[in-house]
A and B are shown apart, each in its own frame.
Chain A
């Protein structure tokens, strides 16, 4: 059934393309959407701390903890918890959707349906061990971000971003039997600077 639908839609695309080619001169193509800024970045956070690390997408900047009550940051990280600048977390208009699927194929952000941080312990991103955004292996203590899952984030100042955490690694071992001092988060994101929902 699925196959059939796909074939049908491919056919439809082909017909449309053929149409475009044949009478291309008469149509005025729409202005191309602004492409997003594509960034791969990583941040280091302490393994054990009471404070979030704050991050701003616009200029890939880590924001000082002193600015936690401002709209200068978009998302925060602490151990495996993720917050966005919204309600209980900050004054911004942030929101987040945990989106299943393939990152590269996701092209348009919705304007509604964003979750926000209701309280400090009920946040928009599920960071639970079994239901959360990562797999945890209790034999090796490895966290791996679940594949085929990423975040669509509305920033504190109403811009749209898609962001995928690529890896979480440990660093700063004193010895193998003690916990590490540092977690390294590697993530990529596409930021739309013009405020539209296009994420291509």
Chain B
């Protein structure tokens, strides 16, 4: 593995040497580094001035893919992988409560912060934000920053940040799209922007629905249930004076999923039917004022609410079988001050408060989480050659210890076309509501899960109701244990190299060290029904390391390719410790021979692929006014615990029999202008028809779609 790593590095180094002589020239590809992004500094900034690994997905590429799903677009990026949470239940007709998320630098979806226009989405289920909540028809660009971004954005930004920037009203325009595809998937999108002297308005609406599908007709209930989504966005900008600007925006999303499956309340099967309704909305207001040429302040208020309601009814008598509810509300006032101008010298500082409130049928009570934060970041340049960002953020929270998260990033322009980048930053992830407040007893097996903040009260209640024997001494649990946030230290180093007017190469090495991972554990005594009681504590330490490399090449005005690759190692440090001490064993499931696990046998964390690759081809034909857009994602083999019933008792990934084979997803879309302002698109997704019904029920086989697009601009 290391050899492969070395060769790739050498190959890239060689490439630089060979083509290093050519002069930098102006070209459209070189402009990739001139793209303006906002995520890295909370102000507009050119990519070439930012000493962080950053990728931008343009509206054009999103449009050319013809896709309706954000997750499909994200997974075609270098090093971004879909992490399924299969639970093996979707195939059996159960609704999958969690969905898929994006794994970045080998870290789970819970460790990547998802922002829309710089503000966080809330409402994670088991750490995963349903990316289907974000309609893609009005995205201006998507900015992806790798490495901890906690110093600007707080909790959850350990692996990095995905910031979805929506369209601003800058011209008068109207567009419309109708999408129809396999599984009776129907998408209707309308958007418009209106600008007059001082005011701009952007409106957007989307309806998206699908019949879902069923992989196994012998099992009652569909693999993916039918659903209908509605989303609407509105944005208003108003220039109050030459110095002041007001921005108001609102976002609303709702999804209704139609559930229909079998349950076994006793030994008899019963049909239940119902709906899962997920809603998500936000309101945002910002007042921006230039005090003078140097100083600008931005005062904003962001309010967002999320809810997930699942209710199912027995078919035989329409009686309610079960309701599961989760609602989350957050209010965040914030003040930011910018002093100076980037990239020469810019100081950004801010203060804000989070008021968050969560309510769930599985949580003990309505729970509040109040937090305050301060951040400051300085960007400056030395002689046009060195770009430095230094910053820190301080988070104070009512439930856990205060967190200080510093970051330092440096870019050095060896030549104008060769930029070395290095950054180091700290990140944290606050204990989530489940880990703090859960109070849930499984009705079938009878075990109990208690969040750390609910432990003392939960145990007392169980003892009072006779579920814990009276001779168990609960005094050691009088004080609730305090969970600490999970901490990370991330290092990224690499370069952006504009080889010539046709080619750009990027390389980034990364290492993330995560400590204090929160895991469940069982208490040393059982309930009177002899079932365990679980709670959460800070336990594990893991690391991920590897590199991401990408190469873009533009043959001519009409034909370009992009290739990306990620190499990844992700391991548990405590497992390595155990192996080094010779204390980890495995038992061959056939011969029952027990042996000591060696360091070489340990393949790393489950569900991580060592090798991932992506390719993108784009071809324009002017004569036919047509564009072909082809994307491919390779995900290398990865470990899955208990694959095909394999078990060797080691609890870690150490055997090839646990390896899920790698696969390729290949998509192709052709767009053709059919009249002035009208365009027709047709596409095939998953051309190779890859499926893994048990482990990746969200990947349907080969599917087809057509889009009719209308666009008017003035």
* A102 surroundings in chain B (CB, below 8 A): 585, 594-596
Instruction: Give residues 128-172 of B contacting A (CB, 8 Å).
Output: none
Q: Is B530's beta carbon under 8 Å from chain A?
A: yes
The interface stretch among A26-34, A63-71, A124-132 is A124-132
Segment from B333-341, B363-371, B645-653 that makes contact with A: B645-653
- Residues of chain B from 208 to 246 with CB closer than 8 A to chain A in the complex: 219
Contact digits for B612-644, partner A, Cβ 8 Å, 1 yes 0 no: 000000000000000000000000000001100
Complex Cα spacing A81 to B93, Å: 31
Contact with B along A138-180 (1 / 0, CB 8 A): 0110101111110000000000000010110000001111110
Of B10-18, B260-268, B390-398, the stretch lying at the interface with chain A is B260-268
In the complex, whether A87 has a CB less than 8 A from a CB of chain B is: no
| Contact A139/B641 with A130-B522, A147-B587, A177-B262 known, Cβ cut-off 8 Å | yes
Smallest Cβ distance from A139 to chain B, in angstroms? 6
Q: Does A1 contact B (CB under 8 A)?
A: no
Chain B residues near A126 (CB, 8 Å)? 524
Query: Known contacts A139-B88, A146-B651; is A177 also within 8 Å of B594 by CB?
Result: no
Residue B571 interfacial (CB < 8 Å): no
With known contacts A122-B525, A130-B521, A147-B649, A79–B530 Cβ distance under 8 A: yes
Q: Is A55 an interface residue (CB 8 A)?
A: no
Q: Once the chains are docked, how many angstroms separate the CA of A103 from the CA of B594?
A: 7
**Does any Cβ of A come within 8 Å of B534's Cβ?**
yes
Q: Contact: B471 with A178, CB < 8 Å?
A: no
Q: How far is the CA of A122 from the CA of B526 in the complex (A)?
A: 7
Question: Does A188 interact with chain B (Cβ within 8 Å)?
Answer: yes
- Chain A nearest Cβ from B524, distance in angstroms: 7
A147 to B585, CA, bound (A): 5
Q: Is B385 an interface residue (CB 8 A)?
A: no
Question: Does A22 interact with chain B (Cβ within 8 Å)?
Answer: no
Q: Is the CB of A135 within 8 A of B649?
A: yes
Expressed in whole angstroms, the Cα–Cα distance for A121 and B412 within the complex equals 64
B322 to chain A: closest CB distance in Å? 14
Within 8 A of A (CB), among B548-592: 583-587, 589, 592
Complex alpha-carbon distance, A137 and B532, angstroms: 15
Q: A56 to chain B: which residues have CB within 8 Å? A: none
Binary CB contact string for chain A from 44 to 85 against chain B (1 if under 8 A, 0 otherwise): 000000000000000000000000000000000011010000
A147 to B597, CA, bound (A): 10
> From residue B450, how far is it (CB to closest CB) to chain A in Å?
13
A131 near B530 with CB under 8 A, answer no
Q: With the chains together, A195 CA to B527 CA distance in Å? A: 36
Interface of chain A, main secondary structure: loop
**B344 on the interface (CB 8 Å rule)?**
no
In the complex, chain B residues whose CB is within 8 Å of the CB of A146: 585, 649-651
Instruction: Report how far A24 CA is from B375 CA in the complex, Å.
Output: 82
B520 contacts A by Cβ under 8 Å: yes
Chain A residues contacting B587 (CB-CB under 8 Å) are 145, 147-148, 166
Chain A residues whose CB sits within 8 angstroms of the CB of B24 once the complex forms = none
* A126 CA / B522 CA spacing, docked (Å): 10
A129 and B532 contact, CB distance less than 8 A = yes
CB neighbours of A104 from chain B (8 A): 594
Contacts of A147 in B (CB 8 A): 585-587, 594, 648-650
Q: Size of chain A's interface in residues, with CB distance under 8 A? A: 39
Do A148 and B592 form a contact, CB below 8 Å, given A81-B530, A128-B524? no
Q: Find the A residue at minimum CB distance from B584.
A: A148
| A-B contacts at CB below 8 angstroms, number | 122
Bound CA–CA A179/B445 (angstroms): 10
Q: Is B1 part of the contact surface with A, judged by Cβ < 8 Å?
A: no
Q: In angstroms, how far is the closest chain B Cβ from the Cβ of A38?
A: 12
Whether B264 lies near A167 (C-beta < 8 A) is no
Query: A77 vs B650: C-alpha distance in the bound complex, in angstroms?
Result: 23
Contact mask for chain B residues 497-514; partner A; CB cutoff 8 A; 1 contact, 0 none: 000000000000000000
Q: Is B6 an interface residue (CB 8 A)?
A: no
Is A135's CB under 8 angstroms from B651's CB?
A: yes
In the complex, which of the residues B94, B267, B522 has the most CB atoms of chain A within 10 Å of its own CB atom? Answer: B522
Chain B residues lying within 8 Å of A119, measured Cβ to Cβ, are: 469, 471
B477 shortest CB reach to chain A, Å: 15
Closest CB in chain B relative to A179 CB, distance in Å: 7
Answer whether A144 and B471 are a contact pair too, CB < 8 Å, given A139-B87, A139-B88, A174-B267.
no
In the assembled complex, the Cα of A60 lies from the Cα of B283 at a distance in Å of 70
Q: Beta-carbon contacts of B521-542 to A below 8 Å, as 1s and 0s? A: 1111111101010100000000
Say yes or no: B642 contacts A177, CB within 8 Å: no
Question: Quick one: which of A78, A81, A132, A137 contacts B642, CB cutoff 8 A?
Answer: A137
Q: How far is the CB of B216 from chain A (nearest CB, A)?
A: 9
Q: Does chain B have a CB within 8 A of A23?
A: no
Q: How far is the CB of B578 from chain A (nearest CB, A)?
A: 10
Query: For the complex, is A110 an interface residue (Cβ under 8 Å from B)?
Result: no
Q: How far is the CA of A153 from the CA of B264 in the complex (A)?
A: 39
Q: Is the pair B642, A140 in contact by a Cβ cutoff of 8 Å?
A: yes
Chain B 640-673 interface 0/1 with A at a Cβ cutoff of 8 Å (1 = within): 0110010111110000000000000000000000
Q: Evaluate whether A132 and B522 lie within 8 angstroms (CB atoms) in the complex, with A144-B647, A167-B589, A177-B264 already known.
A: yes
Expressed in whole angstroms, the Cα–Cα distance for A23 and B595 within the complex equals 37
Task: For A79, give the chain B residue with the smallest CB separation.
Answer: B530
Cα distance A26–B520 in the bound complex, in angstroms: 62
Q: A179, B444: Cβ atoms under 8 Å? A: yes
* Among candidates B264, B522, B523, B642, residue contacting A175 with C-beta atoms closer than 8 Å: B264
A139 close to B642 (CB less than 8 A)? yes
| Residue from B93, B447, B527, B645 whose CB has the most chain A CB atoms within 10 Å | B645
Determine the distance from Cα of A137 to Cα of B522 in the docked complex, in whole angstroms: 15
Task: Say whether A120 faces chain B, with CB atoms less than 8 Å apart.
Answer: yes
Given A137-B641, A149-B585, A166-B587, verify A176-B522 contact (CB < 8 Å). Answer: no
Chain A proximity of B418: nearest CB distance (Å): 46
**Are the CB atoms of B648 and A139 closer together than 8 Å?**
no
The CA of A112 and the CA of B471, in the complex, are separated in Å by: 27
List 15 A–B pairs whose Cβ atoms lie within 8 Å, in order of A's numbering.
A120-B528, A122-B524, A128-B522, A128-B524, A130-B521, A130-B534, A131-B524, A144-B648, A145-B587, A146-B651, A148-B585, A148-B586, A167-B589, A177-B94, A177-B219
In the complex, the 7 A-B pairs of residues with the closest C-beta atoms, listed nearest first: A148-B585, A147-B649, A128-B522, A144-B647, A178-B264, A147-B587, A140-B642
Name A's B-contacting residues (CB within 8 A). 78-79, 81, 100, 102-104, 119-122, 126-132, 135, 137, 139-140, 142, 144-149, 164, 166-167, 174-179, 188
Report which B residues bind A (CB closer than 8 A).
Answer: 86-89, 92-94, 219, 261-264, 267, 269, 444, 447, 469, 471-472, 519-528, 530, 532, 534, 583-587, 589, 592, 594-596, 641-642, 645, 647-651
Contacts A129-B534, A135-B647 known; list 12 others, CB within 8 Å: A78-B530, A102-B585, A103-B594, A119-B471, A126-B524, A142-B647, A144-B642, A145-B649, A147-B585, A148-B584, A166-B592, A174-B267
